[in-house]
Structures are given as C-alpha cells and as structure tokens.
Structure 1
C-alpha cells in the first residue's frame, strides 16, 4: 500500500518538472502560463511535503540538488506514463490511438510489414509501435498491447487468435548441392543442417515424417529465421523454414527445394493480447484487419 500522504498534487509535480527541465522558475512560469511566484510556491510546498531540498538557490538561478535530480528523473517518467495512460484510455472509446505490438522479426519483415500499407490506409488515425521478440515473454510485464507469436501463450489471462497456419520446407543453395547427389529425403541427412533456436525439434520431425532419423552432426543454430535463410543462401547448410518466408529466394534461384516436399505443422501464427485490452480501439482495428488479411 502506497503512502497517500506523500503523494504530491499533479500541479506541483508539473511545476517542479518544468523548473527542473528548464533550469529556473521564470522559464517554467512562462511555459506553464503562470507567475514565477506561483511556480516557486508549488515547488516550496513540494519540498515541505518531502522534507528535502530539491533546488539550491544561487543568485538569480536555481540548481537541482542530488535529491532533486533523482526526483526530477522519476517525475518525468511518472508524468510521461500518466499522459500515455490517459491517451490510451481515451482510445478505448475511439478509433484512433497507439498500439504497442511485438512481432517475430522475420515474419514481420517478410509478411506483416509489406501488408501494413493497407492497414494504415484504412486506419489513418492509428499509430503502431513495432518491437521484435524471438523468445517467450510476458506482455503485461513489458507493457505490450499485443504480440504475434508462433505458438499459443501458456500464461493465463491472455486471449489468442490463430490467423495463419504454417508449412515447413527444406531448402538449400544450389552451391551446396553442386557436388552432392541429393535425390531423396535420405540424402538430406548427409547435409549440414541449419536450425532456428526456438524450433529445436523441427528437423527431427521432418526426418521422422519420412521414416528416417537425423544424422549425428549438430545443426548450426541461429536466433532468427532471417539468419537461417541467409546462411542457407551462403551455402552453409540445408534449412527447414516456413515456405512463405523463402518465396523470394526460391523465385530468384538462390535456394531450391530439397526432396520431401512441404511438411504441415501443428504450429502457426497467433495474435495474442491481455484480456483487459480486448476492447482497446487500436487493437480492435488491427485484430479485425489481421484476421481478414489474405
């Protein structure tokens, strides 16, 4: 339980933040359209409440004390988050606002981002802040509105929609195959293999589906599918990747399919968000657009 008696008024915090940022009461008063005396009184009341000096008065100017510098950093963060929260609360009853969206890097670059022009044309008043995640994370702890994940979330209190399936395709660069006879899935076992780190059993499942066992060599492991794809193009090994992620490389002849065809998986791509964000305006707009996307 926080100490209510120590919570200053918002007006005092705003006056202090302006004075700290601008380096004086006069400049703060001009920005806030108040008198210099009013700003000085609000800061004095704040110091009295806290029992510590926030400024040192030196002739015609004020300088933050060590306590003042610390408090100024905290107040700037608090006021920023308060304003951000207010704007996002307003967006619950409107179509505009900001959506903080975490995406898978390669999926984002190769599938989502090329389609976002259509979304923004339909929702000009929605802003999306994109960030990337590869490993599982807690949306609520990180203040993320929604995320696109390759598996349903395991944490309670989250809503998820599977909007896209996935087919895995084994591919390799022509240079890797030049001096090798690869005529069937069994020959793939002799190739060096590339693997994305969050799919540690994908090659095992691929070989099992063809009645085979993976060879004894350890695959090269990469954090992102984009790195797996570029390593495959460089001839470092065979890659097992979602087929839609390598359309460009296949069309350009940088990669070729290996024998065995596509492998259906139980996975896919999911839009995930906390249940309490379900009616948040920007999320509603993005969810409806995403679930209808071709």
Structure 2
C-alpha cells in the first residue's frame, strides 16, 4: 500500500539513499517482529523505533511492516526490501571494519578460496601459513564460480581458471587432474573400463563443468553427444557423495578423492586422467603483488604445492 505522507528524512546527498540508522532499525524490527524487542536491542524508546520505521516507509513510499495482534509482520514489499537491505548492511559493515583496520598496514590479508578446494587443499596450508606468520591476520572467504580480483576488494584469491585476468599475476598451485570414480558395487566390469563402457553407466556431472565427461570420453575414443544424460551437482563434494552411494560415476580430481580411494569407498575405473584446461592459481593484482605480506603467501603456497597431492 503506497504511503503518501511527507517524510522529514532528507536526502543526505544527491543519491536517493535513506538513513543508515533507519535501515538498521528496520532490519532489527524485521528480525525481532516486535517494536518492543527492537527497542530493547537498540537501546531506544519504542516511540523512537516507531518513528524511524515511519520515516523509512515515508522515504521508500510503501508500507514495510504491519501490526498484528501478536506483534509485527513484514509486508510483501517489506520482505523483498529486507533481503536486499540485509546484504548491503553486511557488506557495509565488512567494508567499514576493513577500513577501520587500515591502521595496521601489511598485517591483514583478505583471501577468497573455492569452497571444496579451499576446504580440502587450501585450508590446511593456509592454517600452517597463519601459524608460521602470527603477525599476519588471515581473513578467508569462499566463492563459487568466477571471481574478478580487480573488483573484489580482496588482496588475493585462489581461482580455478586458465590464467590471470588483465592486470593480475597468477601462481600455479594445483593442475586439475580428474579420474572416473565409482562405488565398488556399481559395475562388475574389471578396470580399466573403456570410454564406451563408462558411457553406458550413469554419469554424475558437475554443474560448473557440464561438458567434462564428454571431453574425457572422447579422449578415450568413445563417440558421445552433448549434452550427456545424468544427474548434475552444484558442488564437487555432493557428486562424490552420490558416487559413494552407488548412484553413478563421478569425474573427480585427485585432491578430493584420495581419502575415499584409500578407504575403498570408491575405485578408479580408469587410470588415465582427464586434464582440465583450467588449474588452481593464486591470483592477485599487479599492485598488490609487491606487498610483503602477499609475497610471503605466494612463496608459502607455491612451496607447499610442489609435490603435494
């Protein structure tokens, strides 16, 4: 329902931006669904909280909340607005913390890693780095899919790519070699299986690399068409769990499958690897690469990666 009342909240700049204080109050009200509880959390009076909500609603021109017999509830517009506001408030808080810690130059390193590779390969090495360099605060985030270093605000990132984007440098950490893996009970055929034999089995695909199976089977001499049938999984770890459950054959890298192979939960159907055109690189911008903290991380990870699974 549109709100036509004139609000006293002014434009702080030429941009159409509401008060951050009012946005934060709205987020607390939406989380607590109570003016009273929100006032207690914010250390304000109930009338002040109500006034800030009213000012925000007047600014955006729609009702964000409505009173009920048990408290407050979000309107459809309010729920939609909240989803975006929450993300922006979190990002603003993170940016403010990072800026506030600018008095510690060279002591903080902001890094992002791919979810699965970061968990299985990178984090043990990053923990060792942090232990050996206790003067450096290592902040680690995760990402899935591509990431732009120049727009990310990060100091460095481990990226699955063919090489660095313009204006960046990259250190090779881990080439991506994948093998066909399945539960021992999936097939009675004796390894190594041919490409045609594997193509007849249920294949498990990774959403981020949907054509890897086709490329690998062609490498083995099989004639296949794209797209190939089979279930798709958004994370490598999910595909491996499906393979262990006997749902099909996963084409998975060595770093992710070593423990399952050693324990006998998975077996290799062929020892010939699929070598991806992409590898895992440590990427940073040309400017940041000169920083001593980045140089220490680059030397550490490239040294740790030599000969490591």
Report the alpha carbon displacement of residue 195 of structure 1 after superposing the two structures with TM. 1.3
Report the alpha carbon displacement of residue 123 of structure 1 after superposing the two structures with TM. 0.5
Q: 2:52 aligns with which of 61, 66, 69?
A: 66
Normalising by structure 2, we get a TM-score of 0.64
- Name which one, 1 or 2, has greater alpha-carbon Rg: 1
Map of 2:128 onto structure 1: 118
Normalising by structure 1, we get a TM-score of 0.67
Q: Aligned with 1:239: secondary structure? A: strand
Map of 2:193 onto structure 1: 184
Map of 1:38 onto structure 2: none
Conserved in 2, the CA contact under 8 Å of 1:190 and 1:215?
no
Pair 1:113–1:83, CA change in 2 (3 A) = closer
Distance (whole Å) between structure 2 residues aligned to residue 194 and residue 76 of structure 1: 36
Distance (whole Å) between structure 2 residues aligned to residue 170 and residue 79 of structure 1: 44
Which deviates further from its counterpart, 282-291 or 228-237?
Answer: 282-291
Conserved in 1, the CA contact under 8 Å of 2:146 and 2:160?
no
1:1-294 residue pairs with structure 2 within 5 A? 66=52, 81=95, 84-85=98-99, 87-88=101-102, 90-92=104-106, 96-97=107-108, 99-152=109-162, 155-178=165-188, 184-185=193-194, 186-214=196-224, 217-294=228-305
Cα distance per residue 1:37-85 (max 9 Å; x no partner): xxxxxxxxxxxxxxxxxxxxx9xxx958639x98xx9999879745623
Pair 1:146–1:187, CA change in 2 (3 A) = same
Conserved in 1, the CA contact under 8 Å of 2:186 and 2:248?
yes
Pair 1:233–1:84, CA change in 2 (3 A) = same
* Unpaired segments ≥5 residues, structure 1: 1-5, 8-16, 22-57
Distance (whole Å) between structure 1 residues aligned to residue 89 and residue 221 of structure 2: 63
* Unpaired segments ≥5 residues, structure 2: 1-11, 14-20, 26-44, 57-85
Conserved in 2, the CA contact under 8 Å of 1:207 and 1:214?
yes
Conserved in 1, the CA contact under 8 Å of 2:214 and 2:225?
no
Pair 1:117–1:129, CA change in 2 (3 A) = closer
Q: Aligned with 1:135: secondary structure? A: coil
Q: Aligned with 2:287: secondary structure? A: helix
Q: Runs of 4 or more off by more than 6 Å in structure 1?
A: 73-80
Name the count of aligned residue pairs: 236
Question: What is the alpha-carbon root mean square deviation over aligned residues?
Answer: 3.7
Pair 1:80–1:110, CA change in 2 (3 A) = closer
